[in-house]
Amino acid sequence: MKRSASAAWSGNLKDGKGHISTESFVLRDAPYGFRARFENGPGTNPEELLGAAHAGCYTMALAAGLSQAGFTAKRIDTRAVVKLDQDGDGFAITTVDLTCRAKVPKIDTAAFDQIALATKLGCPVSKVLNAKISLDAALEA
């Protein structure tokens, strides 16, 4: 399976503008630029998109892990906070903090914790990142 996305850029780093699109057209010429990445300006940025991908991947993988253990989640909500830090003359994504809250009938905390941790380690997006990944996963009543 292969999926694709594309980006285009015009201008210099600080004043230039770019657009990002996905094969599925969920994103179609979504604007991104320096201000969106470093100054909380309008538009998206690679770290936000990576966070969305990681949260989505983790959530689906957790649903799969729960299903394999005989449980069905009523709801799983995951947030990924991606941190970009100065690294020498450039930048690096250093950490991703995952926070997950799940409503899963008939599961005990120990079983949930085991599945949640295994999911963090096995999620395809987690595997590709060279960053410290933390996980705060908990059941909700």
Looking at the structure, do residues 52 and 112 belong to the same domain, yes or no? yes
Q: What is the pTM of this model?
A: 0.94
pLDDT band at 15 (very low <50, low <70, confident <90, very high): very high
State pLDDT tens for residues 44-95. Answer: 999 999 999 999 999 999 999 999 999 999 999 999 999 999 999 999 999 9
Q: How far apart are CA 28 and CA 26, in angstroms?
A: 6
Task: Find the distance separating the first CA and the last CA of the chain, reported in whole Å.
Answer: 37
User: What gap in Å lies between CA 3 and CA 1, rounded to an integer?
Assistant: 7
Q: Please check whether residues 72 and 121 belong to one and the same domain.
A: yes
28 lies in the same domain as 61: no
Q: Name the residue range of residue 30's domain.
A: 5-38
How far apart (Å, rounded) are the C-alpha atoms in residues 87 and 118? 30
Residues 55 and 31 in one domain: no
Please check whether residues 30 and 50 belong to one and the same domain.
no
pLDDT at 133 over 90: yes
pLDDT value, residue 86: 93
Helix-helix angle 46-68:109-122, to 10 degrees: 130
Shared-domain flag, residues 18 and 60:
no
The domain total for the chain is: 2
Q: What percent of the chain has pLDDT above 70?
A: 100
